[in-house]
Amino acid sequence: MELNILIRRPSAETRLGIRLISEQAEQAPFVTMLNPSGVAAGSALRIGDQILLVDGQKTANSEAAVALFAQAGNEIRLRVRRAPRTITIARNKLGLGLSVDSTNRVT
């Protein structure tokens, strides 16, 4: 599923608080970390999202995405691909289960 996401920041110099990785040299990057105090954490962006476009420009890899973020203004429009989430819940001997919250943390 592809989504449009808007990130707003106080100024163009404000860091977004995300970490990206491209698994191949010419592959749109994936979000691997969202700093809870960063501006991107307040958007709809999630860990695991693949960033396809930044302000309408293709992201060939993580370095290209970082360069596009640096050129962007206060509002950044992203086009991301989000894979469906699969959640497995396991029970231990005490019958307790695990759950995953909206930030992908196991609780």
pLDDT given for residue 76 in this prediction: 97
Place of tokens 């749109």: 28
pLDDT given for residue 96 in this prediction: 57
Both tokens assigned to 87: 């959640």
Beta-carbon-side half-sphere exposure of residue 77 (alpha carbons within 13 Å): 4
Helix (H, G, I), strand (E, B) or coil at 34: strand
Query: What is residue 85's DSSP assignment?
Result: P
Predicted model pTM: 0.76
Q: What angle do CA 8, 10, 15 make, to 5 degrees?
A: 80
Render each residue's pLDDT in the chain as its tens digit; 107 residues.
Answer: 999 999 999 998 999 999 999 988 899 999 999 999 999 999 999 999 999 999 999 999 999 999 999 999 999 999 999 987 655 556 666 665 555 555 555 55
pLDDT given for residue 103 in this prediction: 55
